[in-house]
Structure 1
């Protein structure tokens, strides 16, 4: 397991914390939900021998601090943050794994800045805009209802509602053997607060230019977890993205959070989908 090189990058409106590990062509991972730079550590352990892996704290989470905490981040902000981060670390187009909210960030980059990414694996994007109008409205109301539930009853009921919306069954955990679950620390609680209060709004209000995705020069791979129920929101978004692009849906091990619950099998599938890496420059040294 290689040691991480860490850095802080000033971007418009915030300072981003990031980590770089490994060797080989660059792969940036944008995590779901409350996930920060350390959320995918078990997956990164299995990629760092063949990829230079960049992870980061989304603005508002952990060590990435907005300059104006009262101004909620938008999806455009999140996408611009990734653009600035990659511009800091490489001169070449990169591969990106976007999970859930992270997938929507990647789709925005593919639509607005197609030269930044050569490949985006969009795992179960939480993007109601991809769905037919009635279904879109239903899920936007669902997200707003979860936010109201969080404000009235707290985190535990909201987490149960999020799990139900994403097809996760907490009573039947599905994970590879030998994993140590990440505890619900005060920092994760704070990150969930920001995610529900601010990023839900960012998703609901996002004006992702869906028509631009089919014309993007970025290779977009819609993906879904093998055990994610076919009727739930996140898989439906992935399926409609695949239909829009005229491509097949790539299935990955596990469910919505397969990158954290099945890191060994997920890494193997990820490398298979990415294909044999072409020679590429290493990431530039991190900024202290």
Structure 2
């Protein structure tokens, strides 16, 4: 039987966040990457709702959320997530974040460790931990330059190519996703505010070391050639903890939601 989904809106400082909740059990927050939110996380949330109370949301300015003040820093997104968790539970929550979402979740853990029971940080966008961060930073800067010169479509095409996002690396029964009407606007938010925030943010890795038992660095089985996979591996080394492998590539949670859900259950249950 399909879990009932409830959709609500939470007012936070400078924004209103659309979020959904489904299922029963411990609270599990999914923090999407890129310009994704509730819709991209929906298949994964559906596969997890038999064991968890799954929370998904749109970041401020994306899809069903609004923003009077755009988020120009990772800290703003982390505080939005903290407010969401505070509204739904007084207990520490499980968190699965991927790419940009993993960076937000890591910053949440730095600022509010009491809210996090365990975090799976899948291919976090943390260039600073790389031996040669200029390669990743250069890719991000190039995408921003293409956006300014040619627009969002060309920039997102380059962004996807740099991360080798392969829609064919998918589960065979995965339904075809139709781009939302807000797709281009959401991409513009990512390109205008979020990519610069990734480039300039300095994650407090030393603070994370104090929360090491809570943090599970993870990466895709098929993405060892892209820099976010390397970031996850380097973070695992910094924290002295194993790197967990998940199905697919950088966007495995979108294209392989069933396999990703199985790995999440295994990792959180271990």
| TM-score normalised by structure 2 residue count | 0.95
Residue 201 of structure 1 is aligned with which of 196, 200, 203?
196
Partner in structure 2 of residue 150 of structure 1: 147
CA shift in 2, pair 1:268/1:72, >3 Å: closer
CA shift in 2, pair 1:169/1:4, >3 Å: closer
Give unpaired runs (5+ residues) of structure 2: none
Partner in structure 2 of residue 105 of structure 1: 104
CA distances 1:17-52 after superposition (whole Å, capped 9, x unpaired): 110000101100000111111211111111111100
Counterpart CA distance in 1 for 2:178 and 2:49 is 24
CA-atom RMSD, angstroms?
1.5
Partner in structure 1 of residue 245 of structure 2: 251
Counterpart CA distance in 2 for 1:130 and 1:217 is 16
Counterpart CA distance in 2 for 1:104 and 1:240 is 14
Residue 165 of structure 2 is aligned with which of 153, 165, 168?
168
Counterpart CA distance in 2 for 1:169 and 1:50 is 29
Partner in structure 1 of residue 208 of structure 2: 213
Where 1:118 maps in the other structure, the secondary structure is strand
Where 1:148 maps in the other structure, the secondary structure is helix
CA shift in 2, pair 1:182/1:224, >3 Å: same
Counterpart CA distance in 1 for 2:235 and 2:171 is 28
More moved, 49-58 vs 216-225: 216-225
Counterpart CA distance in 1 for 2:215 and 2:56 is 20
Q: For 1:73-152, what aligned pairs fall within 5 Å after superposition? A: 73-132=72-131, 135-152=132-149
Counterpart CA distance in 2 for 1:260 and 1:169 is 11
Partner in structure 2 of residue 26 of structure 1: 27
Query: Offset of 1:102 from its aligned partner?
Result: 0.5
Give unpaired runs (5+ residues) of structure 1: 277-288
Counterpart CA distance in 2 for 1:264 and 1:169 is 17
Q: Contact 1:72–1:198 (CA<8 Å) still a contact in 2?
A: yes
Q: How many pairs were matched up?
A: 269
CA distances 1:131-160 after superposition (whole Å, capped 9, x unpaired): 23xx22332222111011022122333223
Query: Offset of 1:165 from its aligned partner?
Result: 2.1
Select the structure with the greater relative contact order (CA < 8 A; seq sep ≥ 6): 1
Higher helix residue share: 2
Q: Contact 1:27–1:96 (CA<8 Å) still a contact in 2?
A: yes
Where 1:9 maps in the other structure, the secondary structure is strand
Query: Offset of 1:241 from its aligned partner?
Result: 0.5
Counterpart CA distance in 2 for 1:93 and 1:72 is 25
Partner in structure 1 of residue 229 of structure 2: 235
Q: For 1:261-276, what aligned pairs fall within 5 Å after superposition? A: 261-275=255-269
Q: Contact 2:153–2:184 (CA<8 Å) still a contact in 1?
A: no
Partner in structure 2 of residue 9 of structure 1: 10
Partner in structure 1 of residue 47 of structure 2: 46
- Which aligned segments of 4 or more residues in structure 1 are displaced greater than 2 angstroms? 154-157, 167-170
Counterpart CA distance in 1 for 2:121 and 2:149 is 33
More moved, 107-116 vs 157-166: 157-166
| TM-score normalised by structure 1 residue count | 0.89
Q: Contact 2:123–2:228 (CA<8 Å) still a contact in 1?
A: yes
